[in-house]
């Protein structure tokens, strides 16, 4: 009876998402600030939108390093106080992995570290033109929905062309709209869907499906 109960719990865990695999998440890098003496804030937010950690440091020109103990995948937000496209830089926080921020051309960062973050940097750069266009368009303008759709199409295209990358699962979890999320997660390989990074989108999937269910049906052409 006990074995049967344990098997039922295990199967339920697999259905809902991979069981959390905790570990140390390390952030390293060189960070840009507007003026000497300005600081950089690092926030870790979990899949339930709860703030787990917040650290504020003043870059000295040397490489900064921080470590966070995580029980599951989460979201890292880096705010260097500057205005512009990358003021709030959002990155998956994966326990057991290391992300390194490199200064590219101001105001941009590029990422290195473990293979996951190399892949994630490639994914972000692939959809960056559409992301910048979305950032720059007025949310109240007539063009906003058109630009948003282009961004979501670019994101979905990347996921469908890279179904073997855990970075694709993270991209869905952080930036996909409801419809993009629902379509995109089916494209991922089973191994990727069972990764810790996939928990970023699985936490959103039920709510996304409920919103899609409540939407009025599109008229048939």
Q: Could you report the per-residue pLDDT of 102-139, keeping only the tens digit for each?
A: 876 555 688 999 999 999 999 999 999 999 899 899 99
In a domain, 158, yes or no: yes
Mean pLDDT in residue range 163-182 = 96
Residue 152 has a pLDDT of 97
**Number of domains forming the structure of the chain:** 1
In a domain, 75, yes or no: yes
In a domain, 8, yes or no: no
Handedness of CA 76, 81, 82, 84 (dihedral sign): positive
Q: Is 61 left (phi over 0), alpha (psi -120 to 50) or beta?
A: left
Q: Could you report the per-residue pLDDT of 9-45, keeping only the tens digit for each?
A: 333 344 444 455 689 999 999 887 767 777 889 999 9
In a domain, 98, yes or no: yes
Q: State which residues form the domain around 84.
A: 18-214
In a domain, 12, yes or no: no
Q: Return the number of other C-beta atoms located less than 10 Å from residue 198's C-beta.
A: 24
Residue 12 has a pLDDT of 39
| Predicted TM-score of the model (pTM) | 0.83
Please, which pLDDT band fits residue 219 given cuts at 50, 70 and 90? low
In a domain, 7, yes or no: no
**β-bridge partners, 68:** 25
How much is the mean pLDDT over the chain? 85
In a domain, 4, yes or no: no
Mean pLDDT in residue range 52-76 = 92
């Amino acid at each position: 009876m006990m074995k049967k109960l344990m098997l039922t719990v295990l199967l339920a865990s697999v259905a809902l998402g991979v069981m959390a695999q905790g570990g140390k998440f390390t952030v390293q890098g060189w960070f840009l600030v507007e003026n000497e003496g300005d600081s950089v804030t690092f926030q870790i937010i979990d899949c339930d939108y709860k703030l787990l950690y917040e650290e504020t440091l003043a870059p000295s020109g040397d490489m900064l390093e921080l470590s966070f103990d995580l029980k599951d995948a989460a979201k890292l937000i880096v705010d260097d106080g500057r205005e512009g496209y990358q003021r709030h830089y959002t990155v998956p926080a994966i326990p057991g992995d290391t992300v390194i921020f490199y200064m590219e051309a101001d105001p941009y960062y590029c990422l290195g570290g473990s293979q996951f973050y190399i892949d994630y940097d490639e994914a972000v750069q692939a959809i960056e033109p559409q992301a910048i266009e979305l950032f720059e368009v007025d949310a109240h303008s007539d063009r906003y929905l058109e630009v948003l759709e282009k961004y979501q199409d670019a994101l979905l295209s990347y996921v469908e062309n890279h179904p073997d990358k855990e970075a694709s699962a993270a991209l869905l979890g952080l930036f996909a709209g409801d419809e993009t999320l629902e379509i995109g997660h089916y494209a991922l390989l089973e191994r990727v869907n069972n990764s810790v990074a996939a928990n970023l989108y699985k936490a959103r999937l039920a709510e996304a499906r409920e919103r899609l269910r409540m939407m009025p049906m599109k008229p048939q052409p």
